[in-house]
């Protein structure tokens, strides 16, 4: 019988798609990959998701669902909320169910992986105080570096760091900030899995450049689109795909339309793509853009997951130069620009000689094998 580990995270799957449960596409992708690494070590995974519905009405019972071979998802009862008070009750109800489940089923000393989220800090620490489980904290970023937080929230975030026994980290630089005692840890920048070649592409002679990701202004989608104005008109096509709230998405649409009117280079907004459609689109492109604003605090510790998505699909990568990327395991294969301007981005794109042979398969396979080994040491000892 395989060993089993619980993995606490805000997670959703196709089985509960209509319930519109709180989750992040990039987080789900990373969680799925870590689960696959655990499975290759003979460890079964139960994803325990406190995710509540984002629907305004309705009641959803929760249940247990198969995600993959050896991986299950457990969700809890949740209900739609129409006002602020109802939403607060909904959040507390979901978190309390998660706590009661862990208290009733988990054995003392066993490991639990927790995907770091500020709202989980207090509940997880309370359960840990009772059950004395081994907390393996997965940290993608320090939230107070990304958004404004109250002093209480800042203290709470660092308390969960101090409570962790081991870490899974998105960058080595995070280790200095969240793990001063240098407790056991593994670094995984993203998904180290080279996608099989779909043999797809655009039927033209242009170099296709893609920005894929969030439309949050700090992530640089606008700069990526604006770079089209500085690219040779006959040779490049810039694609913008991704997600954002209604205002962010509309702002990107308007900017793409404006640049298209004033620039001879083709730039298009191609919507939000998922799954196989997303993979085939990336593999049809040649260069991927990672264009977040460089002078934000989180760039020293946060690793853009889109870079690994690009490499996994065979694209060359253009990125702003940051310590987290440059010092990472893939730092040597990235093409950098120094200044967050459309002209600098365009110049970095044009510096790439597409005639040179390029294959990211060997790098991805090596990083994958290293992470499978390191996560085994964390979970199995």
Phi, psi (5° rounding) for residue 211?
A: -105, 125
In a domain, 41, yes or no: yes
| Structure token pair of residue 114 | 């927790």
CA proximity to 226, closest of 205, 204, 248, 211: 211
Q: What DSSP line would sit under 347-369, residue for residue?
A: HHHHT--TTS----HHHHHHHHH
In a domain, 364, yes or no: no
| Structure token pair of residue 5 | 């580990």
Pair (166, 219) in one structural domain: no
Beta bridge partners of 280: none
For the CA atoms of the chain, what is the radius of gyration? 21
> Which spans in the chain are helix H?
25-39, 84-105, 121-131, 151-163, 172-178, 221-226, 246-262, 275-284, 305-312, 323-326, 342-350, 361-380
Pair (57, 180) in one structural domain: yes
Domain boundaries, position 297 = 207-359
In a domain, 215, yes or no: yes
Q: Give me the percent of the chain exceeding a pLDDT of 70.
A: 97
Pair (265, 348) in one structural domain: yes
Pair (39, 167) in one structural domain: yes
Pair (79, 152) in one structural domain: yes
Query: 350, exposed or middle or buried, with CB in 10 Å at 0-12, 13-18, 19+?
Result: middle
What mean pLDDT, rounded, does the chain reach? Answer: 92
**pLDDT of amino acid 300:** 66
The domain tally of the chain equals 2
Kindly report, residue by residue over 80-97, the tens digit of the pLDDT. 998 999 999 999 999 999
Pair (111, 177) in one structural domain: yes
In the predicted structure, residue 100 carries a pLDDT above the cut 70: yes
In a domain, 39, yes or no: yes
User: Given the DSSP bridges, would you call strands 111-115 and 64-68 parallel, antiparallel or unpaired?
Assistant: unpaired
Kindly report, residue by residue over 285-325, the tens digit of the pLDDT. 999 999 977 666 566 677 888 899 999 999 999 999 988 89
Kindly report, residue by residue over 162-181, the tens digit of the pLDDT. 999 999 999 998 998 999 99
**pLDDT of amino acid 154:** 87
Pair (279, 325) in one structural domain: yes
**pLDDT of amino acid 305:** 83
**pLDDT of amino acid 200:** 94
As a whole number of angstroms, the distance between CA 53 and CA 25 comes to 15
| Structure token pair of residue 166 | 């081991």
In a domain, 166, yes or no: yes
Q: What DSSP line would sit under 189-224, residue for residue?
A: -S---PPPP-----SSSSEEEEEEEE--GGG-HHHH
- The gap from C-alpha 99 to its chain's centroid, in whole angstroms, comes to 25
In a domain, 144, yes or no: yes
Pair (180, 227) in one structural domain: no
**pLDDT of amino acid 26:** 82
In this structure, the number of other CB atoms found within 10 A of the CB of residue 77 comes to 14
Domain of 86, CATH number, reads 3.40.50.2000
Pair (376, 355) in one structural domain: no
Q: Which residue has the higher pLDDT, 20 or 299?
A: 20
CA proximity to 302, closest of 320, 314, 282, 317: 320
Pair (375, 355) in one structural domain: no
In a domain, 201, yes or no: no
In a domain, 158, yes or no: yes
Q: What DSSP line would sit under 160-186, residue for residue?
A: HHHH-SEEEES-HHHHHHH-TT--SEE
User: Given the DSSP bridges, would you call strands 43-48 and 3-8 parallel, antiparallel or unpaired?
Assistant: parallel
The answer to whether 136 and 145 are in contact (CB under 8 A) is: no
| Structure token pair of residue 251 | 């702002």
Look at the pTM and tell me if it is higher than 0.75.
yes
Pair (172, 285) in one structural domain: no
Pair (42, 149) in one structural domain: yes
């Amino acid at each position: 019988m395989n060993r089993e580990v619980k993995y606490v995270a805000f997670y959703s799957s196709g089985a509960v798609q209509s319930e519109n449960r709180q989750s992040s596409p990039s987080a789900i992708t990373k969680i799925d990959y870590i689960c696959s690494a655990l499975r290759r070590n003979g460890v079964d995974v139960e994803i325990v998701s406190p995710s509540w519905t984002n629907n305004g009405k309705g009641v959803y019972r929760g249940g247990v669902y198969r995600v993959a071979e050896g991986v299950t998802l457990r969700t809890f009862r949740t209900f739609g909320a129409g006002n602020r008070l109802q939403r607060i009750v909904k959040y507390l109800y979901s978190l309390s169910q998660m706590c009661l489940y862990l208290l009733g089923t988990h054995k003392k000393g066993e490991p639990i992986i927790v995907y770091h989220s500020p709202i989980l800090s207090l509940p997880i620490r309370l359960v840990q105080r009772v059950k004395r489980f081994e907390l393996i904290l997965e940290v993608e970023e320090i939230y107070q570096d990304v958004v404004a937080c109250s002093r209480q929230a800042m203290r709470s975030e660092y308390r969960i760091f101090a409570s962790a026994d081991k870490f899974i980290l998105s960058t080595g630089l995070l280790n200095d900030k969240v793990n001063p005692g240098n407790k056991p840890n593994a670094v995984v920048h993203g998904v180290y899995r080279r996608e099989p070649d779909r043999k797809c592409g655009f039927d033209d002679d242009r170099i296709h450049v893609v920005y894929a990701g969030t439309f949050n202004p700090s992530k640089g989608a606008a700069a990526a689109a604006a770079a089209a104005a500085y690219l040779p008109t006959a040779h490049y096509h810039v694609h913008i795909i991704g997600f954002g709230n209604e205002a962010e998405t509309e702002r990107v649409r308007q900017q793409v339309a404006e640049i298209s009117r004033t620039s001879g280079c083709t730039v298009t907004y191609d919507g939000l793509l998922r799954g196989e459609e997303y993979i085939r689109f990336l593999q049809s492109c040649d260069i991927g853009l990672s264009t977040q604003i460089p002078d934000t605090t989180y760039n020293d510790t946060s690793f853009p997951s889109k870079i690994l998505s690009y490499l996994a699909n065979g694209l060359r990568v253009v990125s702003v130069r940051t310590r987290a990327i440059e010092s990472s395991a893939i730092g040597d294969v990235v093409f950098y620009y120094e200044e967050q301007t459309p002209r600098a981005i365009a110049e970095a794109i044009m510096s790439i000689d597409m005639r040179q042979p390029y294959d990211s398969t060997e790098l991805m396979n090596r990083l994958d094998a290293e992470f499978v080994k390191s996560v085994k040491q964390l979970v199995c000892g």
